[in-house]
Amino acid sequence: MQSQTEGDTFTIPLPLARLPWTRQLSEDYAEAKAESSAWIESFKPFEGKSLEAFRSCNFSLLGSLFYAPREKALVRLGCDFINMASVLDEYTDIEDKSGTQNMVTAMDVMRNPNEPRPEGESCVGAIARDFFLRLRAHVPPDAPCLQHFFDAWENYISAVVQEVEDRSKDTPYQTFEDYRRLRRHSSAGGPCFALLEFGLDIPEEVYKHDLLKSIREKAADILALHNDICSYAMEKSRGISAHNAIEIIIHERGISLQEAMDWVGNYCSDLVDGFLHDITTLPSWELETGEKVSMYVNGLGQMLRGSDDWHFESDRYLGSKGSEIRQTRTVTILPPSSGYAMCGSTEDSGA
């Protein structure tokens, strides 16, 4: 097994290249970005160079790629959610388990957003309170999609806490299968998928169909593992790569970085094939329900395509070289860096 050091280069696979969906950006992108950026920055989660680095990631671009075909109100909610989750992600990256647990305790705001937040609480509590008040106003209080979002959010928060706990262990590595099940939730794919349901009113018995469940799970795994491929160099530089499929496969199989990249890429490609196959085998429902399911499934596919585009168009993981890397597929291990909450950033780290 080879060790990776600053300056090592590797070739990234492109397992999402054969998705049939094409790049699509919401026509409301500019307006949604301006509003969402002003909203998240009003809570002052970062300052100085950290704020500049956060802006360069352009999480509103991701939201506007994710929800491109939908109405502006949903695009804006999507941008806000991704900005909120990214702030939480940055804060928990530098916290131990106790600090993270105290922080995510604020997430009880999901079910009780009208309650005032306590003095001295992290800004994520106030951010979440405002977001959940607007989220609840988007659909009726008994809408199943709202409960789906709440369930997915709780799974996400639990996974974030588990990730922090794993990082604190002397031997932080899990088996790949254990990691994959946790990563499915820690990537925040579940809440993002739940937002797709808003306004569709898919019947519960259809939503819970085994094939739709399989499609969602494969999409979540694809989203997470593709992110692990693209984020590895940055996470390695920040010392948080133990929660990354690449590092886990290197450790579990005793293989080189490039071999691990190829292994995860092939695994992800197989998931893409399964995702596409499941879609072709969905049963037929009556016309209105079938149209809703089609919008939902195509929305999932568009999210996967949007994720692929964003990774190379944002400075988040590949810095200013994303477009070049998309062509050459060559990535270099970055020098040590920290995250926004530590006011650390470099031009090419996006960290």
**What pLDDT, in 10s, does the model give residues 124-165?**
888 988 999 999 999 999 999 999 999 999 899 888 888 888
Ranking 11-25, 129-143, 170-184, 300-314 by mean pLDDT, the lowest is: 170-184
Angle CA 52–231–211, to nearest 5: 120
Ranking 105-114, 215-224, 288-297 by mean pLDDT, the lowest is: 105-114
Distance CA 254, CA 35 (A): 47
Residue 337 has a pLDDT of: 76
298 contacts: CB under 8 Å, gap ≥ 6: 21, 69
Q: For the chain, give the mean pLDDT.
A: 89
Domains of the chain: 9-15+23-329+337-342 (1.10.600.10)
Residue 350 has a pLDDT of: 36
Distances (CA, A) of 32 to 63, 79, 190: 9, 7, 22
Residue holding tokens 């919008």?
295
**What pLDDT, in 10s, does the model give residues 290-329?**
999 999 999 999 999 999 999 999 999 999 999 999 999 9
* The pLDDT of residue 342 is above 80: no
Q: What are phi and psi of 9, to 5 degrees?
A: -115, 155
Instruction: Look at residue 330 and give its three-state secondary structure.
Output: strand
Mean pLDDT is highest, among 89-93, 107-111, 224-228, for 224-228
Q: What share of the chain is helix, strand, coil (3-state, %, to 5)?
A: 65, 0, 30
* The pLDDT of residue 102 is above 70: no
Ranking 70-74, 166-170, 345-349 by mean pLDDT, the lowest is: 345-349
**More confident site: 208 or 5:** 208
